[in-house]
Amino acid sequence: MRPLAPRLAALAALALVGLAPLRSPADPRPLAPQPTAPKPSAAPTAPSAAPAASAKAPVSALVAVADALAAQLARSGGLPTSGALVVAQAPKSDATLVRPEELGLRVAQVIAGRLSARAHDKTASLATARGIAGRATGLVFAQIELERGALRVTADLYPAVTNRWERLRNPLPGPRAHGFATTPIDAEVRVFLPPILLERAKTSRSPHAEGELLAVTCGDLDGDGSLELVLLSRARAAVGRMGPSGFVAEKTVLLSDLTARAAVPFREPLGAAFLAGPAGHAGALVLGTTDRGGVALTADLASHHRLAGLPVGAGGLCATLAPDHGSFDGLAPCAGLALGADARGGAPPESTTSALPARFDAISALRYADAAGHPHDAVAAREPGGRLRVRVDGAEVLTQEGAGAQVLLADLDLDGVPELVTTADTGDDRIVVSSLGAGARARLRLEAKEGVRALGVCPAELGGAPALVAAVGEEVWLVR
């Protein structure tokens, strides 16, 4: 959400990430550099959010994969009985792996824990695993792949061959149950890839013709394996990709076709947008402006339902509007936001709401996993006077005076420590990326004299690296 105070830049909303699973095949990344003439800094926008996650959903990628595999094995043929053995094949990756053997063993251990089975202490081929299984009551063989920022695991349950006659009749029985799961990598998995050096990030710039943007987000909206950009202006939402000459809209929807204009809109409009839940599901795209409120849209933009406010990426929460003050005054569940039962009902997490000032004009919320897979909640909220407060699990970790309109929390290097992305409040605009570790340490500065209008995140792709996406003047920047 974006301030109305000293400067009129624009705050963007989340990217996605969400914890929406990435698929594979197609052309993934939007952007081919194509600068154009800059335009003076523009009006405000709204909540900057980070990928949405259900308040009770498992954050760890490994746990999420193990849970999904257990459910699929149960549906397709039954879970292994006590005494089964889990063996992982050596992982494959589209990027160089650090300690691949350790990754394979870690995946096997988590799956074994979920299945009440035993994990073998080495990776092995299927032929070797069959021999190792020996007198085990069954063999679960896991094949692991890291591709385009996603962890993909296939698991097959093979029956035990308990006597000589069975071995003679069918020495290599086929699997009796099968499962497949994929999820975006997190810090716990990213540690097995080379570290991401934000200080060496490169910026690609492409023009767009959507006018003054209020929010930008990025992700695999339709589940086709490639990432789309969503650009939100005061008039419409446009879904598309970056081509050689800039942003090309593939689907659009007029906001006037979705909701009526607010009786008391903000003096300067704010906006928010992010992807929610699995690709292609009923509430795939969630967005809103202070002119018209929030809506949840299907991936084809054909169906929608209203939300309780402007969406914020923290487990299906919406920021409630205080139009008389030109700001927001709290968070509430987004009634009707299809993110699962945990996200639809109940009160906002105390660690999130306790961090909020009475009024705020910019907010970013992030649920993330540290390198050990433990979940944490972070929130950054900007008071109308320009004071920015950042809290993690309810404890204040940073206070910054004179913060600009754009605020974003995201783990851009996937090391389990969030980055805070801010802009300037006065003078020439700029993007500053800081890690929250031991105090905010600035790691990247980008001058943006044309004015930063929105911030968001693209999920990890090739090499397992997320990207910062920013609307600057009449361009979209991809920083990776």
Q: Specify the pLDDT at position 316.
A: 80
Mean pLDDT of 62-71: 95
Closest listed residue to residue 360, CA positions, set 388, 396, 340, 332: 388
376-388 per-position pLDDT tens digit:
999 999 999 999 9
User: What band does 168 get if pLDDT is binned at 50, 70 and 90?
Assistant: low
**CA pair distance 356, 348, nearest whole angstrom:** 12
Q: Specify the pLDDT at position 2.
A: 41
Residue written as tokens 């979705």?
258
Closest listed residue to residue 50, CA positions, set 408, 446, 417, 447: 408
**CA pair distance 106, 63, nearest whole angstrom:** 11
- pLDDT of 29 over the 80 cut: no
Percentage of residues in the chain having pLDDT higher than 90 = 63
Q: 200 - beta bridge partners?
A: none
Mean pLDDT of 103-122: 97
**CA pair distance 355, 206, nearest whole angstrom:** 36
Quick check: 267 and 273 in contact, CB under 8 A? no
User: What band does 134 get if pLDDT is binned at 50, 70 and 90?
Assistant: confident
**CA pair distance 10, 456, nearest whole angstrom:** 12
Widest CA span in the chain: 83
Quick check: 68 and 107 in contact, CB under 8 A? no
**3-state secondary structure at position 242:** strand
Domains of the chain with bracketed CATH: 61-185 (3.40.50.10610), 198-479 (2.130.10)
Q: How many Cα atoms sit within 13 Å of 458 on the Cβ side?
A: 27
244-273 per-position pLDDT tens digit:
999 999 999 999 999 999 888 888 899 999
**CA pair distance 408, 12, nearest whole angstrom:** 8
What is the residue-wise DSSP string for 263-310? SS--SS--EEEEE-SSTTSTT-EEEEETTTEEEEE-TTS--EEE-SSE
314-342 per-position pLDDT tens digit:
468 899 999 988 899 999 888 754 433 33
**CA pair distance 237, 273, nearest whole angstrom:** 9
